[in-house]
Structure 1
Amino acid sequence: MSVGSYVKQSASSGMITLQADQSDLKAFADFAALVPKAATAAQRRAINKTLRWLRTHIARAVSQQERVAVTAVRQRLRAYPLNGNGQGKLWFGINSIEASRAGRPRQTRAGVSLAGRRYQGAFFKKVYGGQPDIWIRTASKHFKASDYPDSEVSGGGGASSGWISENGSRYPLAKAKISLEDVRPHFESWSKRAHQQLLKVLEQELNFELQKYLRGTDRV
């Protein structure tokens, strides 16, 4: 616990690590030395509660910014409870997300629309896997690569990577996806806000344990 909370990023994800540092715990050092099990329990609860708080707020923020259903964003967030080093972690996968998960697709003669987005010339259909998705033939005059990022490559391919061949036919398809790259700048601010929240909750939890100790009740 020599350093506070921090964030690390990779090409496809971000990992926010929550932990208190020694300077944050100076006011509680005597209590922690007296009843270390109670202090450890307070720290565990504080970190786990803050992870849930952080997951909720990130999901809402990304949902609003990228116009994606909050339930789909939450599936990209994975919390890891307190470990032996006194750290709790929140992983966030930021690979492009299928556009069909942004809301309820509506097929029209002109294409597919959902969540304020329009994919002209596209169609909503099950091509691969168990769920239908939004596709477009890459030969279509309405095809825009920016609307179909990071599609998986398969079979007959196409003129460039990211295109998928429809059952090996001569009509390669691309799946509509939404890039989450724009959420990267928020990682540092989320980490700072989460650390402040952690200190707030930690104080509450330590005070709870202190009151239990002063009342002479069973300790954790």
Structure 2
Amino acid sequence: MSVGSYFKPSAAGGMLSIQSSAVDLKALEEFAKVVPKAAAAAQRRAINKTLGWLRTHIARAVSRQERIAVAAVRQRLRSYPVTGGSTSGKLWFGLNAIESSRIGRARQTGRGVSVAGRRYQGAFLKKVYGNKPDIWIRTASKHFNADDYPDSTVSGGGGVSSGWVAENGNRFPLVKAKVSLEQARPHFHTWIKRADARLLEILRQEFNFELQKHLKRIAHV
């Protein structure tokens, strides 16, 4: 029996599943006996619209809370809309720390780098790996604070791992500045409750739309 929308947390994020509750499904089944294709179409549109609504509001909420550009948050949200005979849509939200260079427009200053209201004293903006510049700091710098560089493991070994770089020469090792998204995890319960209410609202709208089409079709027969 369907229990409605729910979420499943994981270490790296959370999967939100959007689906009708048992009560809504009963109403849907009754409507489907009359116009089965219309009922299925109404449910599919309602779930997919709810996914879009949820994605927009999660992105805005996290953006405000963490002072991160909305576009950067949206990149962590992946929708899996209803297709074919499926009755459940999903939204994945990745919570791994995001590179600080992606949360807004980074600016190099004489004292470090500033971005989205954050200041990384002693850091510099430069391409080290990849095609885009990131915010880095030497771990030997007196300004280095591990709290400003989450998910980065400082090591004396060589290579690249989780945002740190260690190479020969007095420029290294370096650590990449990131912003933790773990603070967004407690909001999953709130978002899924809101999604359930929103889904019911849109389901009613879509059912009514299909019903009106059906009645108009009958009237012209």
- Would you say same fold, with TM above 0.5? yes
Equivalent runs, 1:1-220 vs 2, <5 Å? 2-83=2-83, 84-151=85-152, 156=158, 163-165=164-166, 167-170=167-170, 171-216=172-217
Report the 3-state secondary structure (helix = DSSP H, G, I; strand = E; otherwise coil) of the residue aligned with 1:185.
Answer: helix
1:151 Cα deviation after fit: 3.1
How many residues align structurally? 215
1:34 Cα deviation after fit: 1.3
Superposition RMSD on alpha carbons, in Å?
2.1
Kindly, what percent of the aligned residue pairs are identical? 69
Quick one: distance in 1 between partners of 2:202 and 2:59? 20
Quick one: distance in 1 between partners of 2:162 and 2:56? 35
Residue-by-residue CA offset, 1:141-183 (whole Å, 9 max, x unaligned): 100111111137896269x986322x54352000000000000
Relative to structure 1, the CA distance from residue 21 to residue 123 in structure 2 (aligned partners, 3 Å threshold; closer, same or farther) is same
Q: List gaps (5 residues or longer) in structure 2.
A: none
Quick one: distance in 2 between partners of 1:151 and 1:92? 21
**Residues 103 and 116 in structure 2, CA contact (< 8 A), matched pair in contact too:** yes
Quick one: distance in 1 between partners of 2:75 and 2:150? 19
Quick one: distance in 1 between partners of 2:143 and 2:124? 12
Quick one: distance in 2 between partners of 1:78 and 1:182? 19
Report the 3-state secondary structure (helix = DSSP H, G, I; strand = E; otherwise coil) of the residue aligned with 1:136.
Answer: strand
**Residues 138 and 163 in structure 1, CA contact (< 8 A), matched pair in contact too:** no
Quick one: distance in 1 between partners of 2:162 and 2:47? 42
**Residues 157 and 172 in structure 1, CA contact (< 8 A), matched pair in contact too:** no
Quick one: distance in 1 between partners of 2:87 and 2:168? 52
Quick one: distance in 2 between partners of 1:35 and 1:161? 54
Report the 3-state secondary structure (helix = DSSP H, G, I; strand = E; otherwise coil) of the residue aligned with 2:113.
Answer: strand
Quick one: distance in 1 between partners of 2:217 and 2:154? 64
Residue-by-residue CA offset, 1:26-75 (whole Å, 9 max, x unaligned): 44543221111110000000000110000000000000000010001001
**Residues 79 and 89 in structure 1, CA contact (< 8 A), matched pair in contact too:** yes
| Stretch moving more, 106-115 or 78-87 | 78-87
Relative to structure 1, the CA distance from residue 153 to residue 138 in structure 2 (aligned partners, 3 Å threshold; closer, same or farther) is closer
Quick one: distance in 2 between partners of 1:197 and 1:174? 42
Quick one: distance in 1 between partners of 2:53 and 2:60? 11
Report the 3-state secondary structure (helix = DSSP H, G, I; strand = E; otherwise coil) of the residue aligned with 1:216.
Answer: helix
Relative to structure 1, the CA distance from residue 127 to residue 112 in structure 2 (aligned partners, 3 Å threshold; closer, same or farther) is same
Report the 3-state secondary structure (helix = DSSP H, G, I; strand = E; otherwise coil) of the residue aligned with 2:20.
Answer: coil
Q: List gaps (5 residues or longer) in structure 1.
A: none
Quick one: distance in 2 between partners of 1:150 and 1:59? 22
**Residues 153 and 161 in structure 1, CA contact (< 8 A), matched pair in contact too:** no
